[in-house]
């Protein structure tokens, strides 16, 4: 079988990304070669492909579900917001430049050849392409020259399944309202509806299925239950970023930076018994965590200035090292040094004073972006993070700045440590069971306790989670009808 299917949602947060991943895994289980595709993604959670190109983190997860290596072909256009009105534009995995929203919208049709080329290459290599839309297809003020929802489906002649999120309420208004606002030729592309994230007894929605089918004139392909999972979320709408109180023996606090990126770096800790991760935005929320993490950010200087304004910088500097250990990743690592400078205006320009917890370390942004996969071992580390000495890690780097200093080297890939403070550029550095396991055990020991639970490897856990997600979705959807839709096309 060859063909494609597109998942569009009534809104951001409808569940498009995970349904796309589930279908990729189902088609793979059924013996088909399959690849994901999202023409344009806006996200701060990104990933580096084996050939050093940058794509959305969701597409990397979907490729993993499909059992293939991620490729820039799967996400030819990635927008990484740098301000409220502008983004870094990444095309075919490489930085094209920074653009304000108005400029990008006026020029986005210039990217159609790149999108077509990427899709056509994937189509020639795989049996089935599972295409994901973005946001809602009926944002009427933004619909002109659409390249990611119905404009893409029309251009590439792809049948569409429309997904609504019943957990948010108003699923009838979501699905019928969206369908009604589509142009007639766009409605013809919609071959079925999916109700996602249903809680409770699904049989109670039987009448709802009949109403939706009558109103929209399209079959309901299935009702998918609310699935608890630890798979990566798209950034801004993730429930993981909600403020929560410490509910574990071990309290890990993460600074919730305004432009936080790649917070999936900390997902592995959810699998450790007695460990909780919470996000902090104010000094009074900091408390006395067992470990403080400064995460990545797309705008290091602006977020450093935000930390100064909120008083978080002063609170961290006053208590770091002797009250709690601190670990920084990427932008968070840059903040731990003396200064961060952006002489070329690659983010927002200017210079900011860092926390000074890694003395003599200074970061200077350059016009060329570092994008690479990496692996190695921790060096001989002293202080709290001596627990990581010799531990093997894997991950990737994606950053504009270079950090140099005289502090002691942390890993084979760089980074530094000083006392109970450490940082590096490697996203995913905690995913290895050697790293996360050693760190959790050390956190327990620092409290006079012993950790007796299992250790977790993020890669292996994702495989298990993807199989469980696919099993639930397969049972919930009419897969025979989906295969028929793919075969018949538009």
- Residue 471 neighbours by CB under 8 Å, 6+ apart: none
Report CA torsion sign: 177, 182, 188, 193. Answer: negative
Give all strands (DSSP E) within 226-286, no chain letters.
Answer: 250-255, 260-261, 275-280
Strands 291-294 and 326-329: what pairing? parallel
DSSP string, 28-44: HHTT--EEEE-SEEE-S
Measured CA to CA, the distance from residue 253 to residue 272 in angstroms comes to: 15
CB 459 within 8 A of CB 421: no
Classify burial at 119, counting beta carbons within 10 Å of its beta carbon; exposed 0-12, middle 13-18, buried 19 or more.
buried
Classify burial at 455, counting beta carbons within 10 Å of its beta carbon; exposed 0-12, middle 13-18, buried 19 or more.
middle
Strands 350-353 and 339-342: what pairing? antiparallel
Per the residue annotation, which of 216, 330, 361, 424 is the catalytic one? 330
399 is catalytic: no
Full strand arrangement of the beta sheet holding 86-91: 40-42, 77-83, 86-91, 94-100
Classify burial at 324, counting beta carbons within 10 Å of its beta carbon; exposed 0-12, middle 13-18, buried 19 or more.
buried
- Residue 200 neighbours by CB under 8 Å, 6+ apart: none
CB 399 within 8 A of CB 369: yes
- Residue 352 neighbours by CB under 8 Å, 6+ apart: 300, 301, 304, 305, 308, 339, 340
Residue 80: beta bridge partners?
88
- Residue 330 neighbours by CB under 8 Å, 6+ apart: 261, 262, 295, 296, 297, 397, 398, 399, 425, 427
Measured CA to CA, the distance from residue 122 to residue 104 in angstroms comes to: 26
Where do the H-state alpha helices sit in 358-478? 433-446, 458-476
Structure tokens at 76: 């030819």
330 is catalytic: yes
- Collapse the DSSP code of 355 into the 3-class scheme (helix H, G, I; strand E, B; otherwise coil) and give the result: coil
- Collapse the DSSP code of 267 into the 3-class scheme (helix H, G, I; strand E, B; otherwise coil) and give the result: helix
Measured CA to CA, the distance from residue 249 to residue 269 in angstroms comes to: 12
Measured CA to CA, the distance from residue 478 to residue 224 in angstroms comes to: 11
Residue 94: beta bridge partners?
91
Catalytic machinery residues: 330, 427
């Amino acid at each position: 079988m060859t063909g494609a299917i597109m998942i569009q949602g009534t809104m951001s947060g409808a569940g498009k990304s995970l349904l796309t991943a589930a279908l990729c895994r189902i088609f793979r289980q059924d013996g088909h070669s399959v690849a994901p595709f999202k023409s344009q993604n806006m996200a701060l959670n990104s990933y580096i492909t084996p050939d050093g190109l940058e794509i959305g983190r969701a597409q990397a997860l979907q490729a993993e579900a499909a059992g293939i290596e991620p490729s820039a072909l799967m996400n030819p256009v990635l927008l990484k917001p740098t301000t409220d009105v502008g983004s870094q534009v990444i095309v075919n995995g490489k930085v094209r430049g920074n653009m304000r929203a108005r400029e990008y919208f006026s020029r986005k049709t210039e990217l159609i050849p790149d999108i077509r080329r990427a899709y056509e290459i994937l189509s020639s290599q795989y049996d089935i392409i599972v295409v994901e839309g973005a946001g809602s297809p009926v944002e009427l003020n933004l619909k002109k020259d659409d390249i990611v929802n119905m404009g893409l489906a029309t251009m590439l002649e792809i049948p569409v399944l429309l997904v609504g999120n019943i957990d948010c309420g108003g699923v009838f208004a979501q699905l019928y309202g969206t369908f009604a606002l589509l142009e007639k030729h766009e409605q013809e592309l919609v071959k079925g509806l999916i109700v996602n994230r249903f809680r409770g007894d699904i049989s109670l929605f039987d009448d709802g299925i009949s109403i939706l089918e009558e109103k929209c004139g399209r079959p309901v392909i299935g009702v998918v239950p609310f699935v608890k999972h630890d798979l990566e979320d798209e950034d801004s709408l993730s429930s993981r970023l909600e403020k929560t109180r410490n509910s574990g023996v071990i309290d890990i606090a993460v600074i919730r930076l305004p432009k936080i990126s790649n917070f999936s770096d900390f997902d592995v800790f959810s699998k450790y018994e007695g460990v909780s991760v919470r996000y902090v935005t104010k000094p009074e929320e900091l408390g006395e965590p067992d470990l403080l993490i400064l995460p990545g950010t797309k705008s290091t200087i602006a977020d450093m200035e935000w930390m100064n304004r909120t008083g978080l910088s002063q609170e961290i500097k006053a208590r770091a090292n002797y009250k709690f250990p601190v670990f920084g990743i990427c932008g968070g690592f840059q903040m731990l040094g003396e200064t961060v400078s952006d002489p070329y205006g690659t983010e927002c320009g200017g210079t900011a004073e860092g926390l000074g917890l890694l003395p003599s370390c200074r970061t200077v942004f350059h016009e060329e972006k570092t994008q690479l996969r990496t692996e190695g071992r921790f060096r001989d580390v002293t202080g709290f993070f001596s627990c990581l000495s010799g531990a093997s890690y894997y991950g990737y780097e994606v950053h504009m700045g270079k950090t140099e200093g005289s502090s002691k080297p942390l890993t084979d890939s760089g980074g530094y440590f000083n006392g109970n403070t450490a940082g590096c550029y490697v996203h995913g550095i905690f995913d290895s069971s050697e790293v996360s396991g050693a760190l959790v055990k050390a956190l327990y020991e620092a409290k006079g306790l012993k950790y007796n639970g299992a250790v977790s490897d993020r890669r292996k856990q994702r495989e298990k989670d993807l199989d469980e997600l696919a099993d639930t979705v397969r049972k919930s959807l009419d897969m025979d009808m989906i295969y028929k839709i793919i075969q018949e096309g538009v």
